[in-house]
Amino acid sequence: MQIMNQQSIIRDIEQCARERRISISALCRRAGIHPDTFRNWRKTPQNPDPVGANLHSVERLYAELRKIDAEDAERVAKNGGVAA
């Protein structure tokens, strides 16, 4: 089992959001997390010491990504197997 550090998790969430064509801001709103909080978790030149993300918030983001997948699957099923 691979242990992911915070920056790897943040990159994974960003990649998952891109794949689902949802912005990080929209994903955060769905998860009840302020988008600025997510930005504070990212290490950047302007933010060299990011705030630690808590497990509960990260899990809420992943839960929303799973909900998006379920919504998409339901939409495809309603359209006879064709993505809308």
At 6-19, the pLDDT tens digits run 999 999 999 999 99
Number of other residues whose CB lies within 10 A of the CB of residue 69: 13
Instruction: Please report which helix (H) or strand (E) contains residue 1, including its range.
Output: none
Torsions phi, psi of 32, nearest 5?
75, 30
Spell out where the chain has E strands.
none
**CA–CA separation, 27 vs 14, rounded Å?**
10
Structure tokens at 60: 């809420």
pTM: 0.85
6-78 — its CATH code? 1.10.260
Q: Tens place of pLDDT for every residue, the chain, 84 residues?
A: 556 799 999 999 999 999 999 999 999 999 999 999 999 999 989 888 999 999 999 999 999 999 999 999 998 888 776 655
Q: 12 near 53, Cβ under 8 Å?
A: no
